[in-house]
Structure 1
Amino acid sequence: MFKKKRLAVAITVFWILLIYIITGLAWWFIALQDANREITAHQLEQLKPDDAQYALRRQAILSEEKKKTARNIGEGSTYLGLILLGAIFVYREVRRTIRLQLQQQNFMMAVTHELKTPIAVTKLNLETMLKHRLDETRQQKMIQAALQETNRLDTLATNILVASQLEGEYVQSKESLDLSAIVSHSMQDFRHRFPERHWEQRIEPEVVILGDALLLQLLINNLIENALKYSPKEGVVTVSLERRGRSISLAVADQGQGIPDDEKKKIFDKFYRTGQEATRRTKGTGLGLYLCRKIAEDHDATLKVADNSPVGSIFTVIF
């Protein structure tokens, strides 16, 4: 709330200063025009009607007045244009900077939560197993829960590290890869980690692509993680891979609440998450879809989102 008030105050001050500058420019133009008219009137008063050159001199004075008026209009328009261009640039940069600060603040809150929760769950499970003699079934459940939380930590650390590297000097190792095998391996891993969820896969075999194995694996995992987060437990997560002429289509569909049209472009921005951080129930940091878009672009691919039928979303990568 404090950050939003700062943004509102900054925008208000900006508009006040801009209006003040434009008002000053208008006053300057009016003052010059008044002075121009006074000089013209004074020069016309100095003319003698009986002078043989009266008409020519009068025409020359009026012509000079028009030239000065045109010059004032031209200079005023130039200054006004420069002021407006500068104002638009400053306004956009200030809003972008403040909003980035807000997103970074939300990111830090989300990261803190994402770090503390799996650590607390894993610690509690291990302490319980140490203090109590549990049957084999309960032990397996606790170990499975601890492993899932550890995987969350690993995914979080990988996302943060790769996001930093992709904006720096990350060197991609492009090589010929069996994308079908990578997707199948990811699906096998998620089925093992979330056996209670409902899965559907349509993976065309031997789909070969030129790319970075680590980044493509991260792209696939983040898309599937995103589908799991925003789908009900009874919903089906569908992963498909197929050739479409000279292109390759990788799609991940969920049966969640879907994404409003005005949010479809924003969700790929860095740190962006829909809703308020304090009331948001889903896990995440706002880096997953940003990384997916970045990785897709680095592989000359496009990532888009569309509505699923009857409910949910479909994220599609076209290579």
Structure 2
Amino acid sequence: MKRLRFLPRQKLAVATAIYWFLLLYIIAALFFWYIRLQQQNQQMASYKLLELVADDPKYIGKVETIQQEADRKAYQYRGEGITFLAIILVGAVFVFRAVRRQFKVAAQQHNFMMAITHELKTPIAVAKLNLETLLKHRLEESRQQKILQMTLQETNRLNDLTNNILISSQLEAGGYQKVQQEVDLTELGNKMIQEMRQRFPDNQFNFEAPPDLSIKGDPLLIRILISNLLDNAVKYSPRGAVVDTVMKQTGKQVVIEVRDPGPGIPDAEKQRIFKRFYRIGNEEVRKAKGTGLGLYLCRKIAADHHGTVAVTDNTPAGAIFTITLPSL
């Protein structure tokens, strides 16, 4: 018999059902004991009244005293009940949010593991196949160079992926030692556009930047920032699409724009896509590659350089990612 495996959403649904059952049970028990205490209070007051002697000159005073004591205990029980109910509800909200947050993190990590397994296996498999081809067959020089170039591209892709994972972990833990030096964005942009043209010969990459546009920052992080935006643009654009990259200086700020003609990003997702491990859609049926770290790193790197990142709609279709950084 096949073993039943619960998906993260199913686990969350089961945990939510159990949670609400226990919460309702606790609240019902609280109301039950409140009613029982009130009944007991009334019974005690009745017993005390029955013990009084009607001919006693202080009879009326004693009756009022007993009634006042009963009313005082009723208010006490009511106040304690409301206090306990408030504590239960506040605690329930915190527990509910914490549990949902943990399940969301678990689901994101589950999706990340699925994505990273695929992302790691693909370049390794391609590089292995290419090397085995070179070992088993005597190919023409042009063919060998093409296979070697393909292998180099896959290893570069693997290197970018591992860099994203390592840098993300180091930045999150505060263990990355940032370097502050002058970075020539124009030169860096030209190099990266040339690399993208080699990696994706079917696509067209336009680049526009003034000469000697520079900022102060960490060269590796700035490279990862631009690389992730370009990779993201290619990933979600149709084959052969045109990707535009524009760098310019506006006042005391440097603006980097990467424009793609892809499907665009819904307004409800424009802030979520920058969260760690977050990706739009269902990971198990997704066709686009990725790990959910690229845009998270973009926002983290921009923030660490006292900058911002935002996404807007492109015209007629697609998205525009805009990085704003302080200029020199």
Fold shared, TM-score > 0.5 on shorter chain = yes
Who is 1:86 aligned against?
Answer: 91
Deviations 1:74-127 (A, max 9, x none): 211221122122222222222222222222222222222122211221222232
**Residue 24 of structure 1: CA displacement?**
0.8
221-230 vs 27-36, greater mean Cα deviation: 27-36
Selected match of 2:216 from 210, 216, 221: 210
User: Structure 1 CA distance, aligned partners of 2:233 and 2:149?
Assistant: 21
> Which residue pairs with 2:119 in the alignment?
114
What CA distance in whole angstroms lies between the structure 1 residues aligned with 2:314 and 2:32? 58
The verdict on how the C-alpha distance between 1:309 and 1:65 changes in structure 2, with shifts beyond 3 A counting, is farther
Cα drift, residue 176 of structure 1: 3.5
| Match 1:139 to one of 134, 140, 144 | 144
2:69 equivalent in structure 1: 64
Q: Which segment is superposed worse, 48-57 or 254-263?
A: 48-57
3-state SS, counterpart of residue 257 of structure 2: strand
> 1:34 corresponds to which letter in structure 2?
Q
Q: Give the match's secondary structure for 1:274.
A: coil
Q: State percent identity of aligned pairs.
A: 50
CA–CA separation in structure 2 for the residues paired with 1:78 and 1:183: 62
Other-structure match for 1:37: 42
2:6 to 2, 17, 20: 2
2:29 is the counterpart of 1:24: yes
Q: What is the SS of the residue equivalent to 1:167?
A: helix
**Alpha carbons of 1:76 and 1:140: their partners in 2 closer, same or farther (altered >3 Å)?**
same
Pairing 1:264–2:270 present: yes
Letter in 1 for 2:295: L
Look up the equivalent residue of 1:278 and give its one-letter code: E
Moved over 6 A (4+): none
- Between 38-47 and 241-250, the greater mean CA deviation after superposition: 38-47
AA in 2 matched with 1:231: S
Alignment partner of 1:76 is 2:81: yes
Taking the aligned partners of 1:66 and 1:200, their CA distance within structure 2 comes to: 82
Shift of 1:55: 5.2
What is the distance in 2 between the residues matched to 1:38 and 1:300? 70
- Alignment-derived partner of residue 197 in structure 1: 203
For residues 56 and 301 of structure 1, the distance between their equivalents in structure 2, rounded to whole angstroms, comes to 77
* Residues in 2 aligned to 1:40 and 1:190: alpha-carbon distance in whole angstroms: 87
Q: Equivalents in 1 of 2:317, 2:259: separation in Å?
A: 10
Q: Tell me the equivalent position of 2:304.
A: 298
Post-superposition offset of 1:215: 1.0
- SS of residue in 1 equivalent to 2:285: coil
Shift of 1:40: 3.2
Deviation at 1:52, TM superposition (A): 5.6
Partner Cα separation in structure 2 for residue 55 and residue 308 of structure 1: 85
The AA in structure 2 aligned to 1:262 is A
Q: 1: distance between equivalents of 2:102 and 2:299?
A: 22
Three-state SS of the structure 1 residue aligned to 2:284 is coil
Matched, 1:273 2:279: yes
**Per-residue displacement from partner, 1:18-76 (whole Å, max 9, x unpaired)?**
11111111111111222222233344455566666555544444443333232222211
The answer as to 2:104 corresponding to 1:103 is no
Pairwise CA distance, 1:131? 3.1
Task: Work out which of the residue numbers 194, 200, 209 in structure 2 matches 1:188.
Answer: 194
Q: Which range moves more in the overlay, 267-276 or 217-226? A: 267-276
**For residue 256 of structure 2, what is the aligned residue in structure 1?**
250
Q: Which amino acid aligns with 2:156?
A: N
Letter of the 2:31 counterpart: A
1:170 lines up with 2:148 in the alignment: no
Q: Which amino acid aligns with 2:80?
A: E
**Alignment-mate amino acid for residue 252 of structure 2:** R
**TM-score normalised according to structure 2 size:** 0.88
Distance, in Å, in 1 between the alignment partners of 2:60 and 2:206 is 94
Name the SS of the counterpart of 1:2 in structure 2.
coil
**2:34 is aligned with what amino acid?**
F
Aligned Cα root-mean-square deviation (Å): 2.3
**What is the CA–CA distance in structure 2 between the aligned matches of 1:54 and 1:202, rounded to whole Å?**
99
- Asked if residue 307 in structure 1 is aligned to residue 307 in structure 2, the reply is no
Distance of 1:55 and 1:296 partners within structure 2: 80
Cα distance in 1 for partners of 2:221, 2:134 equals 37
The 2-side partners of 1:78 and 1:52 are apart by: 41
Aligned-residue offset at 1:141:
2.9
Unpaired runs of 5+ residues, structure 1, are none
Offset of 1:142 from its aligned partner?
2.0
Letter aligned with residue 21 of structure 1: I
